[in-house]
Structure 1
Amino acid sequence: DSKFAVTSPAPRPQMATTIGRSQAEASEPISEAEREERRRMAALKAEQRLDEKMARGVGDVEKVKQLQEKNQRAEILGRLEELYARLGEELPMGVRLADLKKLKELQADAQKRVDIKTGGPAVRAAV
């Protein structure tokens, strides 16, 4: 017996390699279909956890997604206004009514045009 405290970490438990399977089934190899099903179930559970995390404090996942999209739209519109101001142009007509995907495309296009005009990163990378 030692007078000193043990400073080594506690032993880790052995990880189960047969989750959801009996010991008899454990010796059999897992089929590809079974692996795919497990991956699909794991992805589904992860998506459910993400939805639960997003809804924390609000209660409605759809409401949270709508708020997130609204915030993304506002952020991209602000960037678009800045990019078009740097180009000396006005925002295209109806841009505020565009969906999120279209706004992202417009932002990427405007950023390329600003980079070309100012000799920014996209131009330097191409040279």
Structure 2
Amino acid sequence: MTTLVTIGQAAKQTGLSAKMIRHYEEAGLLKKANRTDAGYRLYNSQQLQQLSFIKQARTLGFSIAQVSSLLDLWRNPQRSSKEVKQLAEQHLDEIKQKVAELQQMQKVLQQLADSCCGDDQPQCAILDGLQR
């Protein structure tokens, strides 16, 4: 017999909030849960495993669309690992781009902060630099 758990129990077991579990259901990442006569959602072990998968993928920054693709690949025993690797490498490239953008922002902001006297005078190199 399959053990079913409520959304509260699923949240505890997966580390997700009930709100996020409902969101992932609505986004189509997770099959709609069966419901009790009283309307409570019930999740089986396969759904809990999928929720853990989704949480880990989201923790790594994959978008909902990317997670959907990864889930499709995960569920498909005929998949090619090449497809999975391509998705991961594409995401890795996006992360590298974001890191480069953040480093550039840090550099400019550090230059602005270094050029500001930080005294009681109204002149501020940071505000001047933001006007450009």
TM-score by length of 2: 0.29
Structure index of larger Rg: 1
Compare the two structures and name the one with the higher strand fraction.
2
Higher relative contact order (CA 8 A, sep 6+): 2
